[in-house]
């Protein structure tokens, strides 16, 4: 028997998972920074200093994307802003969902592309934008469109863009720290000579130096996987939040199935922006696809979670087979 799950329970679980993943990246950064700092200087103070410098540099690099990243994404996607006069039905749906989500009316953009998809961007609800492809408007009915817009405005309400930026800062810090250390070591840096060992941590510092090299190689890869896991958890959260707004899991479920089954390629999407979209815009059959680094949960998993909300059984085998490998 299928157990019914409320969207509140799904929201709570997804928030917990997101926080756990962020803590995991933070812990990885702390361990990497400490081992590099102690291994190269032999002092605890040096360990703290290396970690702090990496975080500060990464945060400074993120400031520009925080304030201007949404404009760059919209421009690179060829999005054009619309008004009530030029797109009345779309604007009405967005207004309905904005009222339900209790967020300010976002700027609404259209992307001239027949592949159905959408994304939200902006650092907070007061500076939010929603972009929808012409294909989405043509191929979805009103209930399905409400589900998609509800999902995107849930990203806005849940501060997912800001949350993603926090994760990017941590992952960027790990990448910067690891890259600097490996280059430093390659060019003959690090601990050398007995005098250093006498003043510093001795044999322990040498062991930490070896550990730091290993971590510097694998930590960026692990951090990237965790970042993608965070992105997938936020997609689950936005799905549950959309159902909270629309009270209609079926509309979102049908939208997911339609978009997953659509074979058209969204040309304007790329690996830098794919995590923003409602479903992964880079299809598995494309050359630019990377299954290992998927930014979105599997479509079948997303639909089955929605079916839990209404107490329906999971998708049957034939439906799973039809959808498998399309997202």
Give me the mean pLDDT over the 288-300 stretch.
72
The full DSSP string for 282-308 is S-TTSTT--GGG-SS--HHHHHHHHHH
**pLDDT 10s digits, 125-170:** 899 999 999 999 999 999 999 999 999 999 999 888 777 767 777 7
Short-list 108, 62, 61, CA closest to 86: 108
pLDDT at residue 311 in the model: 82
Q: What is the share, in percent, of the chain residues with pLDDT greater than 90?
A: 35
For residue 107, the 8-state DSSP code is E
For residue 277, the 8-state DSSP code is B
Short-list 182, 162, 152, CA closest to 67: 162
Task: Answer whether 299's CB lies under 8 Å from 279's CB.
Answer: yes
List phi, psi (to 5°) of 247. Answer: 55, 35
The full DSSP string for 161-181 is HHHHHHHHHHHHHHHHHHHHH
Instruction: Extract the runs of DSSP E, i.e. beta strands, from 1-86.
Output: 80-81
d(CA 222, CA 82): 41
For residue 190, the 8-state DSSP code is S
| Structural domains of the chain, with CATH | 7-65+167-229 (no CATH), 71-161+230-323 (3.30.2010.10)
Write the CA distances from 287 to 10, 200, 290, 296, integer angstroms. 34, 51, 8, 18
Q: Which of 6-20, 77-91, 282-296 has the weakest average pLDDT?
A: 282-296
Please give the mean pLDDT across all residues of the chain.
82
Give me the count of residues in the chain.
327
Residues taking part in catalysis: 152
d(CA 154, CA 150): 6
The answer for residues whose C-beta is within 8 angstroms of residue 54's C-beta and 6 or more apart is 29, 33, 173, 174, 176, 177, 180
Tokens, residue 273: 């922006």
């Amino acid at each position: 028997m299928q157990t019914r799950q409320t969207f509140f329970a799904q929201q709570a679980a997804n928030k917990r998972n997101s926080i756990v993943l962020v803590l995991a990246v933070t812990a990885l950064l702390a361990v990497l920074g400490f081992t590099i700092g102690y291994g190269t200087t032999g002092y605890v103070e040096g360990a703290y200093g290396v970690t702090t410098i990496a975080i500060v540099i990464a945060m400074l690099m993120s400031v520009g994307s925080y304030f201007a990243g949404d404009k760059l994404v919209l421009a690179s996607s060829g999005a054009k802003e619309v008004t009530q006069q030029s797109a009345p039905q779309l604007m009405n749906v967005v207004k309905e969902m904005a009222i339900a989500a209790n967020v300010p009316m976002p700027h609404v953009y259209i992307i001239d592309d027949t592949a159905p998809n959408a994304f939200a961007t902006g650092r907070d609800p007061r500076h939010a934008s929603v972009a929808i492809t012409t294909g989405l408007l043509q191929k979805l009915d009103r209930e399905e469109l409400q589900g998609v817009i509800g999902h995107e405005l849930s990203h806005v309400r849940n501060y997912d863009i800001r949350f993603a930026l926090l994760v990017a800062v941590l992952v960027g810090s790990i990448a910067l720290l690891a890259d600097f250390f490996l280059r430093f070591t390659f060019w003959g840096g690090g601990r050398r000579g007995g005098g250093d060992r006498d003043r510093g941590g001795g044999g322990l510092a040498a062991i930490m130096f070896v550990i730091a090299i290993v971590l510097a190689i694998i930590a960026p890869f692990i951090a990237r996987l965790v970042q993608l896991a965070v992105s997938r958890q936020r997609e689950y959260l936005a799905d549950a939040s959309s159902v909270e707004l629309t009270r209609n899991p079926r509309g979102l479920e049908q939208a997911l199935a339609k978009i997953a089954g659509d074979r058209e390629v969204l040309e304007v999407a790329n690996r830098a922006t794919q995590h923003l979209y409602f479903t992964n815009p880079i299809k598995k059959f494309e050359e630019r696809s990377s299954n290992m680094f998927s930014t979105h949960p599997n479509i079948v998993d997303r639909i089955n979670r929605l079916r839990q909300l209404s107490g329906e059984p999971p998708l049957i085998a034939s439906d799973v087979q039809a959808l498998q490998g399309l997202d």
